[in-house]
Chains A and B, each alone.
Chain A
């Protein structure tokens, strides 16, 4: 009965590769988010989708491309991975304009 799930939990890859992280929520929410927690431990929003429409796109390199096939899923695809992309990526969901967001367990990405 996991509310927000992410796969994989750990991802180790070489520089230059392309990888994807998947997120699914079963809470019936219509808004989903991607956050990045870097080595300095700040949690920063990257993207937000509401009803499959992109509503927040922070200053993120265009190597990062979110895709929302439906309201329950938000995937993150990263092209040409760089060392600086190493971080923990969290998916979250909420009901539109309800501020409380529910987070997934995170995906630790390590780029070698």
Chain B
């Protein structure tokens, strides 16, 4: 029972263009969402998060959008850089109950 889904296993974009990574969830009780970035042989690194009371959160080149009615969130990276090439995980939490539920990840490749 995948409560958090990242349906695109991979995405390839050109340097300087926008990368859009998508995430869908099924549990309407989720109220906090996070994006993590993971390089090979390293642990996931926190990137950006959003509370369900907001529909957008921005941090530099990274923006997360939340559409609660569609149970969908997306991560926009503008402009994309080769160093952004990594696996991006979407995660969700319900009521600060300590437990994060992760998606399967999307491998982003940014080509120079």
A interface with B by C-beta (< 8 Å): 4, 31, 33, 40-45, 48, 50, 55-56, 90, 92, 94, 97-106
Contact = CB atoms under 8 A, between A and B. Distances in A.
21 contacts: A4-B43, A31-B98, A33-B98, A40-B104, A43-B102, A48-B98, A48-B99, A50-B98, A55-B98, A56-B99, A90-B44, A99-B93, A100-B34, A101-B46, A102-B46, A103-B44, A103-B45, A105-B41, A105-B42, A105-B43, A106-B42
Contacts, number: 50
Nearest to A103: B43
B98 A56 contact: yes
Interface string B67-108: 000000000000000000000010001001011101011000
A100 B98 contact: no
Contacts of B44: 43, 90, 103
B90 to A, nearest CB: 11
Nearest to A55: B98
B62 interface: no
Given A100-B49, A103-B44, A43 B93 contact: no
A99 B96 contact: yes
